[in-house]
């Protein structure tokens, strides 16, 4: 039996892409999981994929841009499991894929609401639980667009820079309270969101792909390996780090 058998993880955006891959990776270690997603269909698909691992997994539908929904998924997770030990703060959208002046106010608000405010709300409410129980681990999903400027993703880039800022701040504020928090900065990864972006912006996407030194997209399973490690006790002295996983893109 795994030593992490009784631990509980919350994963936002758990219905597909990185969230789903991380859920499977954690389930392999016997970790119980609360899957959060705005899509009930996608969330339930992940729950189905987790059944063979014999863990306790629940789905909670939520719009992370709404603070009341975020509080609800945290409260329901604690009601069901009694604890939250790990938090993969991952839900996000890419935005319209146009130059910033062409974005509508509604598009800007949607990206900021989900990617930045949703992440901040999640940290706030999960942190309250973790502080009461004496600690926990958090991984936030940033992006290479949170490290360098990238054309056509202005609002997205702004939110991902913000994710890095809150990661470093929480690490400084709560390291002595048993909290370790880090951010990943994935490059272009083969997820449903990226596949849709490729369809919507084929010329821009080809330029992005050609700029990756390894000349390929990342795979969700590769990101999941890193996230699972950062959430584990093996990474407890890694705190406030931002780790690119991008095939060498930001090393250029």
Q: Give 168-189 pLDDT, tens digit per residue.
A: 999 999 999 999 999 999 998 9
Number of C-beta neighbours around residue 161 at 10 A: 17
Q: Give the model confidence (pLDDT) of 72-84 as tens digits.
A: 999 999 999 999 9
137's tokens: 């681990």
Among 96-110, 185-199, 213-227, the least confident range: 185-199
- Domain assignments of the chain as residue spans, ordered by start: 8-241
**8-241 in CATH: which number?**
3.40.50.720
Round to whole Å and give the CA distance between 73 and 162.
Answer: 23
What percent of the chain is helix, strand and coil (3-state, nearest 5)?
55, 15, 30
Alpha-carbon separation of residue 181 from 45, 81, 169, 173 (angstroms): 28, 22, 10, 11
**pTM, two decimal places:** 0.94
197 has a pLDDT exceeding 80: no
pLDDT band at 1 (very low <50, low <70, confident <90, very high): very low
Q: How many residues does the chain have?
A: 252
The pLDDT of residue 201 is: 76
CB 186 within 8 A of CB 18: yes
What are the φ/ψ torsions at residue 24 (nearest 5 degrees)?
A: -65, -40
Is 197 assigned a catalytic role?
no
Q: Which of 125, 156, 174, 197 is catalytic?
A: 156
């Amino acid at each position: 039996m795994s030593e992490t058998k009784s631990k509980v993880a919350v994963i936002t955006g758990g219905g597909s892409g990185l969230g789903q891959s991380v859920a499977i990776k954690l389930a392999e270690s016997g970790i119980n999981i609360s899957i959060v997603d705005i899509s009930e269909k996608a969330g339930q698909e992940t729950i189905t994929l987790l059944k063979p691992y014999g863990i306790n997994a629940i789905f909670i539908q939520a719009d992370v841009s709404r603070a009341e929904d975020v509080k609800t998924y945290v409260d329901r997770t604690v009601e069901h499991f009694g604890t939250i030990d790990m938090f993969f703060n991952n839900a996000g959208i890419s935005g319209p894929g146009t130059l910033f002046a062409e974005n509508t106010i509604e598009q800007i608000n949607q990206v900021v609401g989900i990617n930045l405010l949703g992440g901040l709300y999640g940290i706030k409410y999960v942190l309250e639980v973790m502080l009461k129980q004496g600690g926990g681990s958090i991984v936030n999903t940033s992006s290479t667009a949170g490290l360098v400027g990238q054309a056509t993703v202005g609002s997205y880039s702004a939110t991902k820079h913000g994710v890095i800022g809150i990661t470093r701040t929480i690490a400084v504020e709560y390291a002595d309270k048993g909290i370790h928090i880090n951010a990943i900065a994935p490059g272009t990864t083969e997820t449903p969101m990226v596949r849709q972006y490729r369809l919507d912006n084929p010329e821009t996407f080809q330029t992005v792909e050609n700029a990756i030194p390894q000349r390929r997209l990342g795979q969700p399973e590769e990101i999941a390996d890193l996230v699972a490690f950062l959430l584990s006790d093996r990474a407890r002295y890694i705190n406030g780090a931002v780790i690119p996983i991008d095939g060498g893109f930001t090393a250029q």
